[in-house]
Amino acid sequence: METLGVSAALVDGDLLPGDVRLDGDRVAEVGLPPAPGGRIAAPGLVDLQVNGFAGVDLMAADVEEMRELARVLPRHGVTAFLPTLITAAAADTDRALDRLSTAFATYDGPPDPLAAHCLGVHLEGPYLSSRRLGTHPPEHRRDPDPAELAAWRLRGDVVAVTLAPELPGALDLVKSLAADGVLVSLGHSDATAHEAVLGFEAGARTVTHLFNAMSPLHHREPGLPGAALARPDIVIQLVLDGHHLAPEVVRIAWAAARGRVVLVTDATAAAGRPDGRYELAGVDLDVTDGAVRNVDGTLAGSALTLPAAIANAVALGIDVVDALRAVTSAPAALIGRDDIGVLRPGSRADVVVLADDLTLEQTYVAGEAVL
């Protein structure tokens, strides 16, 4: 058994005073006499938007590079993640899906016990608005194609899809995907508020990187952001890297949607690496002062880590418990998983330990220390 030496722990979504004890790959006890120092234990972090990390771009990576990315993520607190593929040529998406399936579903040997758990695949595109592409290559954008998407779902475990609801055939596709249990997120969209509501009523349950690459919020036409913030059943996803959103916008969004916020990184190969030159699905990226941009100066994902996102949220006045829920239980619930993002007696011992200043001190994957 190992006692973590913390003074409090996020247990079932609430901060419980006391220490935590692990027994093998399970959480054995919580609420033990607290250790001094103000350290906090929380469930392993869950990131639902990872395009790449530590020099690896998932669209171009080979199988071993994908596995290496999964091994690196726990060093940054992430114990479960959703690989994300952006808009690309169909053949490139085919190849990436095949490699992801090989990397995480059909190991030649047992899965790496110290790697982050792959939750499936998130397809962010190609069914996006030509007016709100961000850094997605315009030559590969297209209107919804149910047959194409069905073929991709046969190739890989596609559990989430981002699309623009205003496109021809989009609402029927949302209904079909939602009926099959796929998480549909609205994003890269020029939808009016009405068109967004139609998407939500068809079965979309969340919004990809709120405010970025979508119709703006106006006081007479609230667009996709206003429609999402106004609905208590819609989860909003935010990128808190100090570049995607102004502090005031973060506070407004959190106040409007408290309890239904998920923090994601939208990480690229630049995450966990110094400033420099990188790639995202063939798009050249420049990282300066932590901001990831393409050659046109458009934001193109991030170099963010989830521990940094937690600290950024708290620095903006967000309650630490709310911030921790947004990277643990909230993303787990959104993806329909009750076996991750939780810390309680009997749960798998995927745990992070944060210092009193919220910096990451240790990650445990199935009870094994990674840092």
> What separation, in Å, do the N-terminal and C-terminal C-alpha atoms of the chain show?
18
Closest CA relative to residue 264, chosen from 319, 185, 194, 208: 208
Please report which confidence band the pLDDT of residue 277 belongs to, taking 50, 70 and 90 as the band edges.
very high
* Annotated domain spans of the chain: 1-43+343-371, 45-338
Cα gap 24→1, rounded to integer Å: 7
pLDDT of residue 109 exceeding 90: no
Closest CA relative to residue 203, chosen from 170, 175, 169: 175
* Interval 198-204 mean pLDDT: 98
Amino acid at 250: V
Pick the more confident residue, 74 or 280: 74
Per-residue pLDDT at 371: 79
pLDDT of residue 295 exceeding 70: yes
The pLDDT tens digits for 129-164 are 999 999 999 999 999 999 999 999 999 999 999 999
* Per annotation, catalytic residue among 47, 57, 241, 266: 266
Per-residue pLDDT at 113: 82
* Interval 157-177 mean pLDDT: 98
* Cβ contacts of 210 within 8 Å, gap of 6 or more: 225, 228, 229, 236, 237, 238, 253
* Cβ contacts of 325 within 8 Å, gap of 6 or more: 10, 13, 259
Cα gap 282→284, rounded to integer Å: 6
Please report which confidence band the pLDDT of residue 294 belongs to, taking 50, 70 and 90 as the band edges.
very high
Amino acid at 221: E
**Fold of the 1-43+343-371 domain:** Urease, subunit C; domain 1 (2.30.40)
The pLDDT tens digits for 303-338 are 999 999 999 999 999 999 999 999 999 999 999 999
How many beta carbons lie within 10 A of that of residue 37, not counting itself?
10
pLDDT of residue 348 exceeding 80: yes
pTM of the prediction? 0.96
**Fold of the 45-338 domain:** TIM Barrel (3.20.20)
| 182 alpha-carbon distance from chain centroid | 15
- In the residue annotation, 266 being an active-site residue is answered as yes
pLDDT of residue 112 exceeding 90: no
Strands 8-11 and 40-43: parallel
The pLDDT tens digits for 21-58 are 999 999 999 999 999 999 999 999 999 999 999 999 99
Six-digit token pair at 312? 């950024």
Per-residue pLDDT at 125: 97
Per-residue pLDDT at 204: 98
Cα gap 81→114, rounded to integer Å: 14
